[in-house]
Amino acid sequence: MNSANQPGDKRYYELLEQLQAIDFVLVELNLYLDTHPTDRNAIEQFNQQTEQRWAIAQEFESLYGPLLNFGHSYSGYPWQWNNVPWPWQV
């Protein structure tokens, strides 16, 4: 986590909001695809959004540390999972 970006700065919230929007779209598409398994365009869009979500999460984690724990995200050194800000402080 380089010194330029501290958790809670503008870029932090920008990335989080983009991630939130992409996640919502993925939830909607996932539920839609549950009942429309043959909709090719929706599946393509879902895969594109998933790829994009990975890119945003990757950038966020490289700047501010893990988003998830228990092996769903990498951590830097020293252990970053219990760093501030906690979710309710964001």
Partner 1 sequence: MYSQIRVYYPYISPFDPCPPIRVKTYQVNPQLFIGFQPENLPQFSPMEALRLGTLWPALYSPYSGRGDQEGLEG
Report the site for partner 1 in 10-39 (rule: CB under 8 A): 17-18, 20-22, 24-25, 28-29, 32, 35-36, 39
Q: What is the rounded CA–CA span in Å between residue 82 and residue 66?
A: 10
Measure the CA–CA gap between 1 and 59, rounded to whole angstroms. 11
Q: What is the rounded CA–CA span in Å between residue 50 and residue 48?
A: 5
**Binding of partner 1 by 47 (CB under 8 A):** no
Q: Does 90 bind partner 1 (CB under 8 A)?
A: no
Interface ranges with partner 1 (CB under 8 A): 17-18, 20-22, 24-25, 28-29, 32, 35-36, 39, 41-42
